[in-house]
């Protein structure tokens, strides 16, 4: 039942490369709710997230939103620009954000660090490709109930922290976010959470979700 696919991406580079980037490229601040870039624009800029959290999203012609990824610090994003085509996604700040602004020249002043940057971008893009393939697979083969349950348990497994007799996930996971990730309405998410709870797979109390399906027999908790 547990899924390894998650839209959250973090810690995809090391401090040495971050520090080298900061020696060469400028830092810029964005406020919560601001767009760092927008779907359809043409640019030679990409970014390294230093502080905060942001979402990578895509809109259809009717304005319906789909979350493709949520980035945490020490992640590059917006790098799908090297072909000169318009951006396929938008980046929106979920908190106040600090980023380093890079460009496609990729001149870090050191062959070693330039190779490290290319290697990091290659690994990150491979990870993103696997994530998106898994996402497409789940949308094609799983119903929305399974997608939500897999996402919740995946969060618990990948981001859970021991808190006594349970595991807590310290991420701001709202019902609307779940809806935007799995591709359904917020009302449908609420109904599914209730259905899962009624099957004694989870317990919902005070805006928290407690999981009882851990193989070790311990409780797990996820805020939503």
Domain spanning 8-140: CATH superfamily: Jelly Rolls (2.60.120.10)
List, for residues 76-110, the tens digit of each pLDDT value: 999 988 888 999 999 999 999 999 999 988 888 88
Q: Which of 133, 129, 146 is nearest to 192 (CA)?
A: 146
Give me the mean pLDDT over the 50-60 stretch.
93
From the CA atom positions of the chain, what is the Rg in Å? 19
Classify 4 as helix, strand or coil: coil
55 forms bridges with which residues in the sheet?
70, 92
Q: Which H/E stretch holds residue 121?
A: helix 111-141
Phi, psi of 204 (to 5 degrees): -105, 120
Question: pLDDT, tens digit, for every residue of 178-205?
Answer: 888 888 888 998 888 888 878 777 776 6
Predicted TM-score (pTM) of the model is: 0.78
Q: What mean pLDDT is predicted for residues 114-124? A: 91
Band (pLDDT 50/70/90 cuts) for residue 217 is very low
Mean pLDDT of 148-163: 78
Contact 78, 124 (CB under 8 A): no
One CATH from 3.40.50.300, 1.10.10.10, 2.40.30.60, 1.10.1760.20 for 143-223:
1.10.10.10
- Determine the pLDDT at residue 5: 52
For residues 179 and 48, which has the higher predicted lDDT (pLDDT)? 48
Please tell me the distance from the alpha carbon of residue 111 to that of residue 127, in angstroms, as a whole number: 24
Predicted local confidence at residue 137, as pLDDT: 80
Q: Where do the CATH 2.60.120.10 domains begin and end in the chain?
A: 8-140
Where are the domain boundaries for CATH 1.10.10.10 in the chain?
A: 143-223
């Amino acid at each position: 039942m547990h899924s390894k696919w998650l839209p959250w991406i973090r810690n995809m580079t090391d401090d040495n490369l971050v520090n080298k980037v900061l020696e060469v490229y400028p830092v810029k601040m964005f406020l919560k709710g601001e767009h760092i870039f927008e779907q359809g624009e043409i640019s030679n800029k990409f970014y390294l997230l230093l502080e905060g959290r942001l979402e990578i999203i895509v809109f259809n012609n009717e304005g319906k939103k789909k979350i493709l990824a949520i980035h945490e610090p020490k992640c590059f994003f917006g790098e799908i620009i090297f072909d000169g085509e318009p951006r396929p996604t938008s980046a929106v700040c979920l908190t106040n954000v600090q980023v380093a602004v890079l460009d496609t020249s990729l001149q870090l002043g050191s062959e070693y660090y330039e190779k490290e940057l290319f290697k990091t971008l290659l690994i990150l893009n491979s990870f993103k490709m696997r994530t998106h393939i898994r996402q497409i697979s789940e949308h094609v083969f799983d119903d929305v109930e399974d997608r939500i349950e897999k996402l919740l348990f995946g969060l618990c497994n990948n981001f859970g922290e021991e808190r006594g007799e349970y595991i807590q996930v310290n991420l701001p996971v709202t019902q609307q976010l779940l809806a935007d990730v799995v591709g359904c309405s917020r009302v449908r998410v609420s109904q599914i959470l209730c259905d899962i709870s009624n099957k004694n797979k989870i317990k919902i109390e005070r805006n928290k979700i407690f999981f009882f399906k851990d193989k070790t027999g311990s409780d797990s908790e996820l805020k939503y």
